[in-house]
Amino acid sequence: MPVKRLKQFLDSHGVKYVTIRHSQAFTAQEIAASAHVSGKELAKTVMADVDGRMVMVVLPASHRVVLEFLATATNAKDVRLASERQFRDRFSDCDIGAMPPFGNLYGMDVFVSESLTEDEEIVFNAGSHTELIRMPYRDFERLVRPKVVRLAYADAVDA
């Protein structure tokens, strides 16, 4: 079960969280609809290649990453979205594309959109295409220690 590792990590740190089961869904907007969570509340994890190193980018499901913003935040010359082929082996305990935004569990940096810090809670994929976790944002920040940056325009919404 993909979510086991994450739950053990949260439990070992005394984090209070809620598991939300939903019908199988693959895109962030499908997941939000299936779980009855708004696209602004659901955090999606996007993988990026920043000067040859893999990083996690976490932003509202309704937003798109602006690569120029990520390049500025990382002082990088070459920033691009990673292909599934580039990262799938790093998340052997997760369904492809459903990795939780816990880069610290996978040895990588996490960049989180400043807009997510405005909410008291964060909701994200728990490693499968049928389960989400809702938890206090402050606990997410304490455990992951993400770099908070501007990653999207406020009106950059997926079509």
Domains and CATH numbers, the chain: 4-149 (3.90.960.10)
Q: Is the pLDDT of residue 40 over 90?
A: no
Per DSSP (E only), the strands in the chain are: 18-21, 42-50, 53-60, 79-81, 110-113, 121-125, 131-136, 147-149
Question: Would you state the pLDDT for residue 18?
Answer: 95
Q: Is the pLDDT of residue 11 over 50?
A: yes
- Confidence grade of residue 2 (pLDDT, cut at 50, 70, 90): low
Ramachandran area for residue 107 (φ above 0: left; ψ -120 to 50: alpha; else beta): left
H/E element, 5: helix 4-12
H/E element, 28: helix 28-35
Average pLDDT over residues 78-83: 95
Distance CA 106, CA 11 (A): 18
Residue 7: count of CB within 10 angstroms of its CB:
17
Q: Is the pLDDT of residue 139 over 50?
A: yes
- The model's pLDDT over 140-152, given as tens digits with 9 standing for 90+, comes to 999 999 999 999 8
SS3 content of the chain, % helix, strand, coil (to 5): 30, 30, 40
The percent of residues above 90 in pLDDT, for the chain, comes to 65
Question: Would you state the pLDDT for residue 159?
Answer: 36
Name the residue with higher pLDDT: 27 or 80.
Answer: 80
Residue 142: count of CB within 10 angstroms of its CB:
11
- Confidence grade of residue 154 (pLDDT, cut at 50, 70, 90): low
Distance CA 41, CA 156 (A): 15
3-state secondary structure of 86: helix
Contact status, residue 23 vs residue 130, Cβ threshold 8 Å: yes
Q: Is the pLDDT of residue 83 over 60?
A: yes
pTM score, whole prediction? 0.89
Residue 8: count of CB within 10 angstroms of its CB:
10
Question: Would you state the pLDDT for residue 158?
Answer: 46
